[in-house]
Structure 1
Amino acid sequence: MTEIRRDTLEQQTFFDAVGGEETFRRLVHRFYQGVSEDPLLRPMYPEEDLGPAEERLALFLMQYWGGPRTYGELRGHPRLRMRHAPFRVDRAAHDAWLRHMRTAVDELGLEERYERQLWDYMLHAANFMINAEDEQ
């Protein structure tokens, strides 16, 4: 019997397992549909068209989950907190962001284990971005 060496087996990335670029583009597009109508979040996007922000998030998420490294090639290190520092991200913004992302994640219809892994990351990311106390 011939043994297959462990290091010769190809590991499937999360990116590939959930459907690759198409899945991440659907996720981000649906998310920004919600953001575009949100009175709290929409002002945080200075560009008239949300297209550039949508593209940046899609590229970031694809790279993070094992897809193409395009985000890093175009923008360098993500530096997420630094890039979001000019914007007031309090608990209300956090909750609004998660509300739109929850809708987008749910509409993907991923297998439970992938949905949970993706959602856990989104929760962590949203918490990490808080940079202001709620106004009283």
Structure 2
Amino acid sequence: MINEPVPTLYEWAGGAQAFERLTEAFYAKVKQDELVGPLFAHMDPDHPRYVAMWLGEVFGGPDRYTRERGGYPHMLAKHLGKAITEQQRRRWVDLLMDAADEAGLPGDPEFRAAFAGYVEWGTRLALHNSQPGAAVVKDAPVPRWGWGVAPPYRP
């Protein structure tokens, strides 16, 4: 039996192109949504690409978001004072999960559990950080998310 290295979530998903498909599909949905759409009314046209860079780095890809966009402090600054509601957070999660299906991200339980784990964690952190007067960690690295306890199954 050959002991192959476990791929990163980034590799398993299909690399940069997979995350670009995901964010394009996602923000097309966001723009049309009455609940979260207003949060993105003045979105930079390159925003989907930047979020794809963020997600790529989080899931084990190159550190482009850190090098080109300023890493965690830059991302945090985009959320401060937005006063995201729990309903908006949940809608954001639902739209992202729908976009993951539409973009063809892997559907295996191991990948989706790891992906959903990050999305749940990240959106709850964004919800907290977006509240006026929230105590936030201002300088942290971009999180690196892995498989957790269930690496991909290879028959």
Q: For residue 49 of structure 2, what is the amino acid of its counterpart?
A: E
Post-superposition offset of 1:82: 3.6
- Identify the structure with the greater helix proportion: 1
Find the counterpart in structure 2 of residue 129 from structure 1.
126
Tell whether the 8 Å contact from 1:60 to 1:78 is kept in structure 2 after alignment. Answer: no
Runs of 5+ consecutive residues of structure 2 not aligned to the other structure: 132-155
- Of 35, 52, 57, the match for 1:58: 52
Q: Contact between 2:35 and 2:91, CA under 8 Å: does it hold in 1?
A: yes
Over the residues paired in the alignment, what is the CA RMSD in angstroms? 2.4
Which residue type is aligned with residue 57 of structure 1? Answer: V
Distance 1:120 1:104 in 2: 16
1:78 aligned residue: 72
Asked which structure has the greater RCO (Cα within 8 Å, sep 6+), the reply is: 2
TM-score in terms of structure 2 length: 0.70
Match of 1:12, SS? coil
1:116 is the counterpart of 2:113: yes
- In 1, the alpha carbon distance for the partners of 2:111 and 2:45 equals 26
Size of the aligned set, in residue pairs, is 126
Which structure would you say has the larger Rg? 1
User: Is the Cα contact below 8 Å between 1:84 and 1:129 reproduced in 2?
Assistant: yes
In the alignment, does 2:28 pair up with 1:33?
yes
Partners in 1 of 2:67 and 2:115 — Cα distance?
23
